[in-house]
Amino acid sequence: MPDYPSFDCAHVQFGRKIASLRNREFPKKVKELIKAAVKTEQTVSSFLTKLQSLIGEYMHNTDKILNTKILISNLDTTRYFLQELEAALQHLPDMLISSNQDLNIIKLHYRDVSVTLQRCNSTELPWKVIASDLPNFPIFEGFEKNVTNLSVAKTKFKWQVEVLRKAWEELEEIDENCWVIDPLKPNKSHMYRRIHLSQSLSVTITIDDPLNSIALPVIKFSGSDNEVKRQMDDVSNNIHKWDHDCSILENLKMLLNMYEFPEQESMEEKKDIINNRECGICFSDELPDKICNNEKCMKHFHSACLSKWLQTNTGNQVVFGHIYGTCPYCKEKISCSIEL
């Protein structure tokens, strides 16, 4: 009370024992009490009596809330869950487990990868995945299935991370040595990389079978017909030389007859190139996969947009699922698949 005996600018500090009262209501009520004391020019002792009964009232309420909480939650379930948690904490010590205050959301963290599980009231599927860094592979689908407790979840999660480690290392090597144009910010769930090769060509590598370490990744070129054809010829000439003891990056260099991959341009140039990459038909900035053969035109298109455009001209020929016509900008010959 800086203006004793007046209650002007008075404030009250509480010790740790009544920390449980620090909800929004209680401090507000105390402030109101002080305001009233200023107004009615109360004595300190009458103020303290009022404060004491206010504290008593809130203590009583808090007890009631705590008691109901304990009654509601089934004690047996809690005991069983604590046993489950204890067991889970015992094995696989290299894995981190964190949880929220209510212990119904658990996050498993292993080698920079995490999965978040929520406890459900179901004996069949007691743990539901609510967030995961892992990619969606068919073999990984239904993580919850057969996860009867947290220990099983941990073992399963560790196995998946170990299976994917080799593939992630391959992709990281590509990130370090190539100009990856998609995804812009690769994370553990992205199992593909689209690599810039030239103004009119890029290649997308997708690992679709992480369980089979000697399987070839899926390789797809995007760009002008001439460039794509030239690279496809290189690939078919070299594919028999694919060496399973070498990394995907090393094998790619061999396949494409390249010594190094083009380095990433400066930010300015990069912006220019990315701006020029919008689809000439729908103008969306989602990376197009088709480029006009005419070096002076080099317009970019999505195959789907180009296919629709070419089909509007009934004079265009369709041969073996390919439609042949002319570029909407420069009239150079252009073709694309209509089976999209």
- State the residues that interact with Zn ion by CB under 5 A: 279, 281-282, 292, 294, 297, 299, 302, 305, 327, 329-330, 332
CB within 8 A of 73, min separation 6: which ones? none
Nearer Cβ to Zn ion, position 194 or 299?
A: 299
Per-position b or e across 145-181, b if 16+ CB within 10 A of its CB: eebebbbebbebbbebbebbeebbebbeebeebbbbb
Work out how close the CB of 301 gets to Zn ion at its nearest, in angstroms, rounded to a whole number. 6
Beta carbon nearer to Zn ion, 95 or 287: 287
Torsion, Cα 236 238 239 244, to 10 degrees, reads -170
DSSP string, 205-246: EE---TT-TTSPPEEEEEEEHHHHHHHHHHHHHHGGG--TTS
Residue 118 near residue 104 (C-beta atoms within 8 A): yes
Q: Which is nearer to Zn ion, 84 or 332 (CB)?
A: 332
Element (H, E) at 152: helix 150-177
233, with CB counted inside 10 A (0-12, 13-18, 19+), is exposed
CB 293 to Zn ion: min, Å:
7
Structure tokens at 155: 């073992």
| Closer residue to Zn ion, CB minimum distance, 233 or 286 | 286
The strands making up 322-326's β-sheet, listed across from edge to edge, are: 317-319, 322-326, 333-337
Q: How far is the CB of 226 from Zn ion (least distance, A)?
A: 12
Minimum distance of Zn ion from residue 179's CB (angstroms): 23
* Secondary structure of 18-78 as H, E, C letters: HHHHCCCHHHHHHHHHHHHHHHCCCCHHHHHHHHHHHHHHHHHHHHHHHHHHHHHCCHHHH
User: Of 134 and 228, which has the nearer Cβ to Zn ion?
Assistant: 228
CB of 291 to Zn ion, least distance (A): 9
CB nearer to Zn ion: pick between 160 and 293? 293
Six-digit token pair at 168?
């992630």
- Minimum gap (Å) between residue 296 Cβ and Zn ion: 8
Distance between first and last Cα of the chain: 79
User: Measured over all CA atoms, what is the biggest interatomic distance in the chain, rounded to whole angstroms?
Assistant: 99
Cβ atoms within 10 Å, residue 62: 15
Please say which residue, 117 or 281, places its beta carbon nearer to Zn ion. Answer: 281
Distance of closest approach, residue 286 Cβ to Zn ion, in angstroms: 7
CB of 278 to Zn ion, least distance (A): 8
Closer residue to Zn ion, CB minimum distance, 259 or 283: 283
Evaluate whether 21 touches 55 at the Cβ level (below 8 Å). Answer: yes
- The minimum distance between CB 330 and Zn ion, in angstroms, equals 3
248 three-state secondary structure = helix
- Return the number of the residue (248 or 298) whose C-beta is nearest Zn ion: 298
Q: Provide CB contacts within 8 A for 184, sequence distance 6+.
A: none
